C-alpha cells in the first residue's frame, strides 16, 4: 500500500536505539514493528523514502514473538530497496511503472536469510529508477513510482542514488536497518550523503538472485544501517552461497564471522593507506579530523599520492555495464509474471516513450545505448578482462602490498548536491570507491563529520573477501569518533541555525 498517512509524532529524538542482542529479546517484535510504522507515518511525508509498506508486517512480527527466538536481528524491522524481491503482496518495481504488476511472491535469498534471522520485512524503499541506470542526465532519488526522495539533513539536497530511500529512511530514524544495492557507488554514496553506515560487500558474498540486475560483474546487495555493528549483524544473516549465483561459491564459510569479528576490534598498530589522490571536494576538514582520530587510536597512516598505473578509460567500464545490463535485464524480465507486459529492454524503451510520467524528469539514453549491445561482443570481453585486472590485482591488491597496508581510506564522496530537475545531478567530486566497484572488492563508509551541516563519510576499502576485517576496522573507528548531528529536516542548508546569522546584513 502506498504510504499517505500522516500521524502526530514528536520528531525530536525519533531515532531508534542501536541494535544489540540484549535489546532485541523475545517478545519485542510486534512492539518494534508498530513503533517503526508510527515513525514512518510521521516522518515519511517529509522525505518520501518509502514506496510501500508490507501489510503483513504486524502479522510477521507476531509470528516471530510466538517463536521465542532471540538474536541481534530478531524482531528488527527492515526496509528493502524496491529492486529486491520479497514474498507477499508487494510488487518489485525498480521504480518503474512498467513493473507495477511485478508481484513475484518469491523471496530473494538475502530476504530469506533476513527472515531466518528473525527480521520483519517492513516494506520497500524508493530508489533512483532502474538503480540509476536509465539516463546519463538523471536525478538521484527520483522514480516514476516513488517520486523524489529528500535528504533529511536538508530537504532541498539530494539523498544520492540509487539506494536513496534506504539511506534517507535510516538517517531519518524510521528504521535501524535497510538493504541497498550497488553497482558503482549506489550503497556508499547515499549512506555518506545521508550520514549513515553503508557496506558494499565483495561481489559474491551475497546472492543476487531475484534482484533486478545491472551488472553480473559488479552488482551486490548490502546493509545500510546506523552503526557498523548493525551492518555486521545483517551480513551474518545474508552472506552465503546460492547455486543460482555462481559468484557465491564457497561463501558459506563467511556467515557468522561478521559480528564475531568486531570483538576486540582495534586500530592499534594497523597500517592504513591514505589515498591522497582521492581527497578534497569539501571534505578536507572532516577528513583531517578523522585521520587525527585514527592516529589517536594507534593507526599508522601511510600517504599514497597516486594509483601508480594508468586508469582505465571510463568508457570501457561504462560499456561493460551497458552490455551486462541488456543481457541480465532481458533474462530477468523473462522470469517475471505474465502480468508484466514488458518482456525485453526494447519493450521498456517503447513503454517509456508511451508514458508521459516516465520521461517527464529525465530521458532513457542509457537504455537506448544498452539495447544496441551484445554479450558476445569481443570488445566487451577484452574490456572486462582489463577492467578486472586494473582495479583488482593491479589496483587495490598492488596498493596494499606495495605500501604494506591492511586497508585503504579516503573521503567517500562530496557533500550532498542540490536536487535539480532542470539540469540533473551535479557531481562535485568523489573518492576512490569506483575501484572497489570495478574489482568487486569490499567498501565500507562510516560517518566522519559534516561540511556546512551536511554529512560526509570515511571509506575503508580492502582486498577481496576481507569483508569482516573491513567492518572491524570501521567499527573500531566508529567507537572512538565523537557524536555527530542527527537530521533536523531543515528545508535547506541555510535554514540551519548555524547559518541563519550569515544571511543578515552585517
Start-to-end C-alpha separation, the chain: 51
Name the one residue in this structure whose C-alpha cell is 538517517.
Answer: 171
Q: Is 216 helix (H, G, I), strand (E, B) or coil?
A: coil
Select from 21, 23, 34 the least CA-distant residue to 61.
34
The catalytic position among 138, 163, 186, 207 is 186
The catalytic position among 96, 158, 162, 164 is 162
* Adjacent-strand bridge partners of 148: 142
Classify the phi-psi angles of 344: left when phi > 0, otherwise alpha if psi is within -120 to 50, otherwise beta.
beta
Per DSSP, which regions of 157-276 are E strands? 177-182, 197-200, 220-225, 271-275
Cell of 52: 510501500
The catalytic position among 81, 124, 200, 464 is 81
Q: Cβ distance 106 to 85 under 8 Å? A: yes
Q: Cβ distance 50 to 124 under 8 Å? A: yes
DSSP 488: -
DSSP 457: E
Burial of 211 per CB tally in 10 Å (0-12, 13-18, 19+):
buried
186 catalytic? Reply is yes
81 catalytic? Reply is yes
Q: Cβ distance 406 to 148 under 8 Å? A: no
166 catalytic? Reply is no
Collect all residues with Cβ–Cβ distance below 8 Å to 250 and sequence separation of at least 6: 241
Residues marked active site are found at 81, 162, 186
Amino acid at each position: 500500500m502506498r504510504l499517505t498517512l500522516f500521524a502526530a509524532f514528536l520528531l525530536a529524538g525519533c531515532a531508534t536505539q542501536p541494535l544489540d542482542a540484549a535489546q532485541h529479546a523475545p517478545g519485542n517484535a510486534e512492539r518494534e514493528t508498530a513503533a517503526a510504522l508510527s515513525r514512518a507515518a510521521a516522518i515519511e511525508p517529509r522525505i518520501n523514502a518509502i514506496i510501500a509498506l508490507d501489510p503483513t508486517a504486524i502479522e510477521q512480527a507476531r509470528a516471530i514473538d510466538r517463536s521465542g527466538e532471540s538474536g541481534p536481528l530478531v524482531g528488527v524491522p527492515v526496509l528493502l530497496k524496491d529492486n529486491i524481491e520479497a514474498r507477499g503482496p508487494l510488487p518489485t518495481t525498480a521504480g518503474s511503472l512498467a513493473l507495477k504488476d511485478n508481484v513475484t511472491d518469491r523471496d530473494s535469498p538475502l530476504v530469506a536469510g533476513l527472515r531466518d534471522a528473525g527480521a520483519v520485512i517492513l516494506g520497500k524503499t524508493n530508489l533512483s529508477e532502474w538503480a540509476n541506470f536509465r539516463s546519463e542526465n538523471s536525478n538521484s532519488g527520483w522514480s516514476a513510482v516513488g517520486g523524489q526522495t529528500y535528504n533529511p539533513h536538508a530537504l532541498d539536497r539530494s539523498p544520492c542514488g540509487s539506494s536513496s530511500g534506504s539511506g534517507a529512511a535510516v538517517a531519518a530514524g524510521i528504521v535501524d536497518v535497510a538493504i541497498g544495492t550497488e553497482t558503482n557507488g549506489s550503497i556508499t554514496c547515499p549512506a555518506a550523503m545521508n550520514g549513515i553506515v553503508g557496506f558494499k560487500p565483495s561481489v559474491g558474498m551475497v546472492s543476487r538472485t531475484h534482484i533486478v540486475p545491472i551488472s553480473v560483474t559488479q552488482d551486490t546487495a548490502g546493509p545500510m544501517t546506523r552503526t557498523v555493528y548493525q551492518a555486521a549483524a545483517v551480513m551474518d544473516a545474508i552472506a552465503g552461497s546460492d547455486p543460482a549465483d555462481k559468484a557465491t561459491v564457497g561463501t558459506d564459510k563467511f556467515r557468522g564471522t561478521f559480528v564475531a569479528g568486531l570483538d576486540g576490534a582495534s586500530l592499534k598498530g594497523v597500517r592504513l593507506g591514505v589515498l591522497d589522490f582521492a581527497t578534497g571536494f569539501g571534505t578536507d576538514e572532516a577528513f583531517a579530523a578523522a585521520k587525527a582520530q585514527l592516529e589517536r587510536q594507534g593507526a599508522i597512516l601511510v600517504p599514497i599520492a597516486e594509483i601508480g598505473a594508468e586508469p582505465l578509460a571510463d568508457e570501457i567500464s561504462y560499456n561493460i555495464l551497458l552490455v551486462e545490463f541488456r543481457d541480465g535485464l532481458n533474462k530477468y524480465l523473462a522470469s517475471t509474471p505474465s502480468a508484466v507486459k514488458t518482456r525485453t529492454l526494447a519493450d521498456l524503451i517503447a513503454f517509456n516513450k508511451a508514458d508521459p510520467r516516465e520521461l517527464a524528469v529525465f530521458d532513457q539514453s542509457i537504455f537506448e545505448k544498452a539495447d544496441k549491445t551484445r554479450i558476445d561482443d569481443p570488445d566487451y570481453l577484452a574490456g572486462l578482462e582489463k577492467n578486472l585486472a586494473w582495479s583488482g590485482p593491479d589496483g587495490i591488491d598492488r596498493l596494499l602490498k606495495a605500501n604494506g597496508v591492511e586497508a585503504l581510506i579516503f573521503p567517500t564522496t562530496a557533500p550532498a548536491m542540490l536536487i535539480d530537475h532542470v539540469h540533473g545531478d551535479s557531481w562535485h567530486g568523489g573518492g576512490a570507491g569506483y575501484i572497489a566497484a570495478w574489482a568487486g572488492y569490499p567498501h565500507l563508509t562510516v560517518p566522519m563529520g559534516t561540511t556546512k551541516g551536511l554529512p560526509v563519510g570515511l571509506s575503508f576499502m580492502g582486498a577481496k573477501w576481507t569483508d569482516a576485517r573491513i567492518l572491524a576496522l570501521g567499527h573500531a573507528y566508529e567507537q572512538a569518533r565523537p557524536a555527530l548531528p542527527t537530521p533536523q529536516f531543515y528545508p535547506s542548508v541555510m535554514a540551519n541555525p548555524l547559518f541563519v546569522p550569515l544571511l543578515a546584513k552585517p
